[in-house]
Structure 1
Amino acid sequence: MAISVSTLLVFNFIFVDRGFRDLYQEMRHPGSIGGFFWDDIVKQGADPFTPKDYEAGSHEANQTFRLTVPLIAYALHLNVAGLYFLHVIVGLVFLWLVIQITYQILQNRLLVFYFLTGFTAIYAGANFYINYLGHADVFPFCFLALAFYLRNPLWVLLFTQLAFWCDERAIINSSYLGLWFVLPMLKEVIKTKKFSLKQIPLQAVALVVSAGLYLVVRQWLSTTYGLKVGHDNALSHRTTWWSLSILGDKFTRGFEGFWLIIFAGMAVLVMLKDWLTFGLLLGCFMATAAISIMVADGTRSLSFGYMIFFFMLSTLRKHIPVSQLTYLLIVSTLISLMLPISFP
């Protein structure tokens, strides 16, 4: 991580220097810096169910149903500084979870080191300290990772609920989580041509229940308190066309050198003719990509799909030599270290 932090600070020096100066001012004078959302989160936690008159399509308007972090801030009596430092702590927990998960998959400490060095050089792994604006993405990232790591159905229900109420994109990208639980069952059913309800993983059931619960409660909040997210259709159309016009750049910034891991994993699945895994993973990714095109913050949106790396690492570890996987991770990491982070 020290390597990644050093390169990020070098290649993003002006951006980081100016940004953290502004963050310091925001800590001293909450709400004084435009484009920072920490104070908005704190205020939302103090009064979460009163409709706000924000401009349609703005980040503040989109925050209406993102209640987890504001309520945590309110419960812990956090100000801007306290919330940012909690953000960093949660980020460190997230990285610990990524280490544990990838080690379970790779069973090789050196491979985990290469992966983590690259992962902390892209937005998904570095956002907890380098995104000082207050998007608080590390909270849903961490909650999804906790659901993935712990796997007990009750924990899956709890942590996916926390993630869903952080950002709606967590719901879309929980498809990777569900696929991880369901895929072995699907392969077994196809192999044996036998199916019973008992084969359905309880984790998958918990995930479906969690998504349904979110939708029901969200509708209840809308009906009872009049909460709503304002949509600007004209802005949405302009954003989509703008995204399509810079699609290559937008997608590159999302995963940087780690696209090589995705391409390699997909190529192996094609060579294995594992069309089931390939098709389902492609479907999950297309959902992630579609959302990334529809919104302006493409780097952030793509990063919600970070769990695709767990699938790719699992596939590559099983089907290519360790030496080849080592070279792949080194090259992916070097490219990611060389590219400056660009977000949102």
Structure 2
Amino acid sequence: MLALLSAPPKIDATFFSDDHSYWYTVEKQSENIFGPIAAPRESHAAKKTFRLTVPLIAKTLDLKRKGIYLLQVTTFFVMLGMGISLARRITSESKVSSLFMASMIPLYTILSSYHEATGHLDAFAYSFLFGAMYFRHPLQVFFACFLASWCDERAFLATSFIFMWWFLQDENANRLRVPSFSAYPDSRAVAVCLSGLSYIALRFLLTFYTPLSLEMGRADLLLVKEYTSFVPLLTYSTFGALWAVILTAGLLLIRQNRPLLLLFLIIPFLLQAIVACMVWDFTRSLSFAFPLLFLSLFIVKDYFNTETIKIGLCVIFLLSLISPVIFFDSQITNVHSIWHIGFDKLIKVVTK
């Protein structure tokens, strides 16, 4: 209900027409997984060349456009269930975990599961990343990261957060303050690394032995210069009021003199931010860094008692209800909040 109030879906039949080349591209890929994509190299369709997980699922299940979308809708419940379980695993408190995930519902990460109906298919990548943190067996973690990487290159970058998630499960690693090689990483962290190496190796093989190839011109770089004035608002919109958890975790690491751990969290985020600056869809790109939210909660829970965290999340939840949810392409295409108080007009005034 909160999700529907926060950003009710605006879907019509035209979303599934050939006018939206994303669906057309996915459909053609599912018909011929390793066939070349007939699209200009600067187009969004061309960037889907190596995003093969969803086309492979569609081919296996014999799904067309609307079938893929309906499958995408199910990821809402998958992400919500896994997210609550992960937060409960961190805090050992059901109310805290529910508040945390309720605060995440208005974010694009979760809303993309049903609100996005034009064939971007980000929700599949997000759900596999959730799975990579949720599953406990190394093989499950490996395949979750592997499938996420083949959904989107930004998901491949996001697996660095998954590595940190499992690395910190080891008590010795969690307390590291200086560089040390005495603590061996968790086997799940090793699985993440092997998944990344496998993805890179297989991608090179496909480039050499199949018609698949991806070329990008300089015109594709740093599109952020076209919408610089919107960047602060877009950055805030990515995680909304939950930025408070991330910033609190960062301040605690500085205060506790844990620069190495802080650096290992900042670098992956900066990589995601740089990629986001290269494309029009800034919010969608930066949303791939959502595992940082769970890492931050993992850090914060060591320094505050359950009641304090609960009060903080109550405030964050209330703020999330009035925070704008912005999906950004070449212009601000969607601005939503649970209260319809004209955020779109406010944004235009502020950014003039």
TM-score normalised by the shorter chain: which range applies?
A: 0.7 to 0.9
Q: How far apart in 1 are the matches of 2:310 and 2:175? A: 31
1:280 maps to 264
1:201 maps to 186
Q: How far apart in 2 are the matches of 1:188 and 1:146? A: 25
Q: How far apart in 1 are the matches of 2:75 and 2:195? A: 22
Report how far residue 53 of structure 1 moved: 2.7
Do the aligned residues in 2 keep the contact of 1:176 with 1:308 (CA within 8 Å)? Answer: yes
Do the aligned residues in 2 keep the contact of 1:8 with 1:337 (CA within 8 Å)? Answer: no
Q: How does 1:143-158 map to 2 (within 5 A)?
A: 143-158=128-143
| Equivalent in 81, 91, 94 of residue 76 of structure 2 | 91
Q: How does 1:6-21 map to 2 (within 5 A)?
A: 6-9=5-8, 16=9, 19-21=10-12
Q: TM-score, normalised by structure 1?
A: 0.87
Do the aligned residues in 2 keep the contact of 1:299 with 1:343 (CA within 8 Å)? Answer: yes
1:13 maps to none
Q: How far apart in 2 are the matches of 1:309 and 1:91? A: 18
The aligned length equals: 326
2:292 maps to 308
| Equivalent in 155, 173, 194 of residue 170 of structure 1 | 155
Q: TM-score, normalised by structure 2?
A: 0.86
Do the aligned residues in 1 keep the contact of 2:220 with 2:279 (CA within 8 Å)? Answer: no
2:311 maps to 327
Q: How does 1:233-244 map to 2 (within 5 A)?
A: 233-237=218-222, 239-242=223-226, 244=228
Letter of the structure 2 residue corresponding to residue 6 of structure 1: L
Do the aligned residues in 1 keep the contact of 2:106 with 2:321 (CA within 8 Å)? Answer: yes
Check if 1:55 corresponds to 2:46: no
Report how far residue 83 of structure 1 moved: 0.8
Query: Structure 1 stretches of 5 or more lacking a match?
Result: 10-15
Query: Structure 2 stretches of 5 or more lacking a match?
Result: 329-352
Q: How does 1:1-344 map to 2 (within 5 A)?
A: 2-9=1-8, 16=9, 19-21=10-12, 24-27=13-16, 30-31=17-18, 34-35=19-20, 37-183=22-168, 184=170, 185-187=172-174, 195=182, 199-237=184-222, 239-242=223-226, 244-344=228-328
Deviations 1:233-267 (A, max 9, x none): 12424x03235443212211211221111112212
Change (3 A) 1:194 1:222: closer
Do the aligned residues in 2 keep the contact of 1:221 with 1:227 (CA within 8 Å)? Answer: yes
Higher helix fraction (1 or 2): 1
